[in-house]
Amino acid sequence: MDSPFEILQLDPDADEDELVDAYRQRVKEAHPDHGGSADEFQSVRAAYEAIRAGYKPGDGEIELVGGDGSRVVNINSDADEGPSEDTGGTTESDGETSGGDGADANRKGTRVEYLDYDVLDEHGWSLGDENLFEKAAAEGLNTDAYGEVFVQPRTCLLKAVESDGHSWPYACRGGACANCAVAVVEGDMEMPANHVLSEEMMDHGIRLSCISHPTTDDLKVVYNIEHLPGLDELRLPPQHARNVRPND
């Protein structure tokens, strides 16, 4: 297999911004809808994660571990699993979100109340509305559109909701697009690195759910906001079928 730098067509001396630019470009080229293939797309993702996890030229081959495409990269055969939780971690560790010994175990961690932006669209509501979540709670919405999930410490939100059986939009799963963006309405989330969101977006509580984890006991987020102005231009071809809109 080519080295991660060859896969991304990236100079080994490239800085972080150049890495993200190369990744965004290669992810578009490798996407199955754009003439690439699922294998090529996974290779590009694995290469990006390996470099972010500290891969250096000469470190050997990389491979994705997990037939479900879980976000684990091995660097050399005797290397530890990586990357760390900020890109999703292993399915085993994240499985605690939906696993455990019963209902109480499932309710540990940050309580995250979520709402689909499509609901705001349908009702003429906006992100700044007072009592937005109270109004949503009163609507009797299904659990795809509105509900709660408990997120374990330092577990990324996207992985946690997926472990709980939900499907939210995403593409790169590495902080290089805006497909997985959420608007934090209450509480806070830590995003360890930011290469695509503007300062203004960050100030307005926009976070990338694939690399962000809650830092407050309670959190309210609106997901499926990637078509909002500013975020729309940062999207990559989606990797998610159910929430893809007709024009994607």
The span of 33-41, 52-60, 104-112, 167-175 binding ligand FES (CB under 6 A) equals 167-175
Closest distance of CB 130 from ligand FES, Å: 29
The span of 67-75, 78-86, 146-154, 164-172 binding ligand FES (CB under 6 A) equals 164-172
Residues 90, 72 contacting (CB under 8 angstroms): yes
Rule CB under 6 A: which of 208-247 touch ligand FES? 208, 210
Q: Which two tokens stand for residue 80?
A: 């530890």
Pairwise CA distance, residues 39 & 32, whole Å: 9
Interaction between residue 132 and ligand FES (CB under 6 A): no
75 vs 208, which CB is nearer to ligand FES?
208
Cα dist from 204 to 15, 122, 160, 186, whole Å: 28, 22, 23, 11
The span of 4-12, 119-127, 142-150, 169-177 binding ligand FES (CB under 6 A) equals 169-177
Rule CB under 6 A: which of 83-122 touch ligand FES? none
Interaction between residue 46 and ligand FES (CB under 6 A): no
5 vs 223, which CB is nearer to ligand FES?
223
Torsion sign (Cα): 200, 202, 207, 208: positive
Interaction between residue 176 and ligand FES (CB under 6 A): yes
What number of chain residues touch ligand FES (CB under 6 A)?
A: 11
Question: Site residues (CB under 6 A) for ligand FES?
Answer: 170-173, 175-177, 179-180, 208, 210
